[in-house]
Structure 1
Amino acid sequence: MNISQRWRLASIFVTLTNLLAFAAAQSSCIDNGNYTSFSTYKDNLETILSSLPTKVDIHGFYNASVGQSPDTAYAAVLCRGDIQPEECRSCIQNATAELVNSCPNYKQAVHWNELCMVRYSNESMFGILRTSPGWSWRSLRNA
């Protein structure tokens, strides 16, 4: 194998590694307390999470809350702007299932992937700037 072929192979490997990192889904469980299996918060959370895929608007966004304080569950979803509503709903449904599996009993969590984001909390998050948790991907190419 000559130097040109090695360089090309290395370039392909780096590109594939970057694509996999970009496409990888990620959940972040926020340590702000846990809920119990038979709590009112759990019931409210299950109610709101199950409604997310059907409530998302044609722009790929939806937020809502269910329940009374201190057991209120808040949730928000956002899809990438260039995907169709049905693909958005499917992404939200899958992301919600992944989030529940990845962060069992957490009162706050967020899951994002290339197409959509799902977040829930026991604290209001509407109109409040949050800079964490975060996930970034850096490209070495010129923009």
Structure 2
Amino acid sequence: MVDFDVQTFIVFLVFMLSLGICHADRNLYSGLQCSQADNSSESSFGVNLDNLLDLLTQKGPLSKGFLKTTVGRSSGKIYGLMQCRGDVSAENCANCTRESVAVALHDCSKSKKVQVWFTWCFLRYSNEHFFGVWDQSSAAIVNETDFDDASVVSKALTFMSEVAITAPKQPLMFHAALLDAGQFGKRYGMAQCTRDISTTDCSHCLDTQLMTFRTTIGNKRGWEVYGSSCSMWYHDYQFYSNFSITANDGARRLSLQGVATGIIMAVLVFIFVP
């Protein structure tokens, strides 16, 4: 786990008022983590960082939405990683990565350890090696006023546990699934790990997130957990598009094409676990 001397963690989840206007899946700025500003950075760091971010932006979206690489040597070496959500197109992946880079350079211009989360992608770079290391840092975002029906709660936790079990076994360590809650509608779940960690660490990462935030997310209709090595999403609306998933009973397939939804504004709580 990367140790930050001074760190900021900012999480935003934009809830739009439902005024009869529906919103398709949107790429929202979800979080930022920066190390303490380092004004003593040598000039080579800035040059290497620019080269690194160019590589991640240009090649990552064309490499199945994932790339880890390094630039520089010895003390000037920088490690970088980008990854897009498994259902996102190469074009949207590229746009999201560019947005992440812009945020990093604007808000963390003097930092040597940076992580940026958007709904569709994740960007991370550091002057310390982190490839293949499971980082347990995570933040949960929940709607504190939107409780689910008691009969759905136990099903939802079991459902997301199954999503967490399945994701590490997939080629991209990404899995999305649908839960049919009968008269209470449908629930949609997704889990993904960064592809630099092992499948074993991916399993541990997702399981740890569910256990850590169980009391926080357990009775909510919607929540998201963003982490340095894995992330999970759960909602009562279709929050992704242009992607086919298998229903939890395996009996049918759902094709999500240009899905739209409206969300009521409510109080949000986020919890950060280092």
Give distance in 1, aligned partners of 2:99 and 2:40.
23
Q: 1:27 aligns with which of 18, 28, 32?
A: 32
- Percent of aligned pairs sharing the same letter: 28
1:97 aligns with 2:102: yes
Q: How many equivalent pairs are there? A: 124
What does residue range 45-60 of structure 1 map to in structure 2 within 5 Å? 45-56=49-60, 57-60=62-65
Amino acid at match of 2:53: L
**Normalised TM-score (structure 1):** 0.75
- Counterpart of 1:61 in structure 2 is 66
**CA displacement, residues 39-81 of structure 1 (integer Å, 9 cap, x when unaligned):** 1111111110122121114421001000001010111001000
Q: Which moved more, 1:38-47 or 1:97-106?
A: 38-47
Unmatched 5+ stretches in structure 2: 1-14, 18-26, 157-274
Moved over 4 A (4+): 35-38
**CA displacement, residues 79-106 of structure 1 (integer Å, 9 cap, x when unaligned):** 0001101110110011111111011110
1:131 aligns with 2:153: no
Amino acid at match of 2:72: G
Amino acid at match of 2:117: W
Partner SS, residue 35 of structure 2: strand
**Normalised TM-score (structure 2):** 0.41
RMSD: 2.4
Partner SS, residue 106 of structure 1: coil
**CA displacement, residues 6-45 of structure 1 (integer Å, 9 cap, x when unaligned):** xxxxxxxxx748xxxx9443211023x6255751111111
- Residue 90 and residue 34 in structure 1: after superposition, are their counterparts in 2 closer, same or farther (change >3 A)? same
Pairwise CA distance, 1:113: 1.1
- Residue 115 and residue 96 in structure 1: after superposition, are their counterparts in 2 closer, same or farther (change >3 A)? same
Give distance in 2, aligned partners of 1:64 and 1:103.
20
More strand by share: 2
Q: 2:90 aligns with which of 85, 88, 101?
A: 85
The structure, 1 or 2, with the larger RCO (C-alpha pairs under 8 Å, 6+ apart) is: 1
